Amino acid sequence: MTTSYDALDDFAGPGGWDLGAALLGLDTLGIEWDQAACDTATAAGFARERADVSTHDARPWRGKIPLYISSPPCTLFSTAGKGTGRAALGVLADGIRRMFAGDDCRAEVREEIYREHTLPARTEENEARKPEKRWSPEKVEKAARDDAFIAALVLEPARRILDLDPERVAMEQVPAVLPLWEVYGYEMRQRGWSVWTGVVNAADYGVPQTRKRAIYMASRVSIVAPPTPTHAEHPEDGDLFGGGRAKWVSMAAALGIGFEDEPAATISSGGGKTGGAEPFANAGYRKRLAAAIDRRTNSKGPGGTVVPTALGSIERPAPTLTSKAGEQWVLRMGNQQNAAVRALAEPAPTMAFGNNSSSMEWIRTRPATTIVGSFGADTVSPPGYRLDVSRQNAEGGVKITVAEGGVLQSFPWDYPWQGPRTKQFEQVGNAVPPLLAAHILAALTGRTLAVAA
């Protein structure tokens, strides 16, 4: 190994942590299994080793890489997923403790989760299918074992920390994993580390979506504190001790749709700062986005008829983007009296539709809702979205591209997404927002952002 790196990034994906680290002058080596994600990161100029983290040997890097980063897969913990990981939190928490005690219990934990959680869940799911669509027992078993394997990947950071002996650790996951981050925190505090765990909102750090994530930060060489928010839903005036927080970056500002009075600063393709009304927009992009409201899907109408969905205003923030195939963001309308309202001039909230969904409307005041990695990757969910209605069939559908989804994750407009369209959307939805990653790493390492957000 002749190349030196500042950080080892497990489950590295297409480069969210890498790009954030690069803004601080840090070089990363990413370990990732998915070929398309590796291709994307490589095309963007980041180092990748295609390998299964669960079998990868990091011991040759022991003492040579000061920062360890990890974002284990969240499929089974996400509220949009099966939730098997949440049901197995107790088993996984005990597994983390055993790993830190030197007991490599991963195989045992996988087997217990399979037997007690994933097999019963997959069996019940299969029995609920129509007889002609049911899986074979062999297919059910394989899916259940795959689920258990994925859930147990949250144990891998314990093994890697012991093998690498880094100075600092940064990890990210969906909020449901926070209890496990707290177990990691307890174990590492017992070993003399300074630790912070908590849930942050990406919109508070200049990302044009209200993506919430459980963050883990630890150091054995300095005191750890969470990153200081730079943005707020409502702008704040400065005081004697410094400036206030800027207004949340809206979907409109990020995508370059008008609003000259609302400059947005985020990451450019060259790693620099861009500002003004069109931070990512290329020539003609505004015109195309302005017409996006006409790129609609069809919905069921009265008496079984099929009608075009209602037009969605471009003056709204984007709702949650998932990672299924396609290129459509759905802004679902609703009639809930207390439903959240989000606009292009604001980051959108995490979209969850309720039973009443005909009166929700986009306004010019919010960022996009959470960009997710499954369940309709081509759609941005409107406020109040619930999974009882398909995003693709929700009213007010507006199609988008992979590049647009990347922009709402704070990637550059021309980020080189690789692979089939389905894989590109998956990468966008599953990635760590680079701007959020930069703020986390800046707070953890004491470095100053090369690009102000």
User: pLDDT digits over 332-349, tens only?
Assistant: 333 343 445 454 455 544
User: Helix H segments across 44-169?
Assistant: 84-87, 89-100, 106-113, 119-127, 137-152, 156-164
Q: What is the pLDDT of residue 352?
A: 32
d(CA 101, CA 114): 23
Amino acid, single-letter form, for residue 292? A
Q: Does residue 293 carry a pLDDT above 60?
A: no
Return the C-alpha torsion angle 225, 230, 234, 237, nearest 10: 100
Give whichever of 75-84, 204-213, 306-315 has the largest mean pLDDT.
204-213
Q: What is the pLDDT of residue 394?
A: 55
Q: Is 351 helix (H, G, I), strand (E, B) or coil?
A: coil
Mean pLDDT of 197-219: 95
Q: Does residue 315 carry a pLDDT above 60?
A: no
Residue 106: pLDDT band with limits 50, 70, 90: very high
Element (H, E) at 67: strand 67-70
Mean pLDDT of 91-112: 97
Outline which parts of the chain fall under CATH 3.40.50.150: 7-219
Residue 111: pLDDT band with limits 50, 70, 90: very high
> Quick one: CATH architecture of 7-219?
3-Layer(aba) Sandwich (3.40)
Question: Hey, which residues are catalytic here?
Answer: 74
Higher pLDDT, 383 or 98: 98
Q: Which residues pair with 172 in a beta bridge?
A: 215
The mean pLDDT value of the chain amounts to 77
Q: Does residue 156 carry a pLDDT above 70?
A: yes
Residue 61: pLDDT band with limits 50, 70, 90: very high
Residue 377: pLDDT band with limits 50, 70, 90: low
Q: What is the pLDDT of residue 353?
A: 27
Count helices and strands (H / E) in the chain.
14, 15
Quote the distance between the C-alpha of residue 214 and its chain's center: 11
Q: Does residue 42 carry a pLDDT above 70?
A: yes
Mean pLDDT of 31-59: 97
Residue 253: pLDDT band with limits 50, 70, 90: confident
Q: Does residue 37 carry a pLDDT above 80?
A: yes
82-96, 176-190, 251-265: which range is least confident on average? Answer: 251-265
Residue 85: pLDDT band with limits 50, 70, 90: confident
Mean pLDDT of 314-319: 41
The Cβ of residue 152 has, within 10 Å, a number of other Cβ atoms equal to 27
Amino acid, single-letter form, for residue 389? V
Give the pLDDT confidence of 321-332 residue by residue, as tens digits: 444 433 333 333
Q: Does residue 276 carry a pLDDT above 80?
A: no
Mean pLDDT of 80-109: 90
Q: What is the pLDDT of residue 275?
A: 32
Higher pLDDT, 58 or 368: 58
d(CA 361, CA 367): 14
Higher pLDDT, 226 or 258: 226
d(CA 396, CA 241): 45
- What is the dihedral sign for C-alpha 8, 13, 17, 21? positive
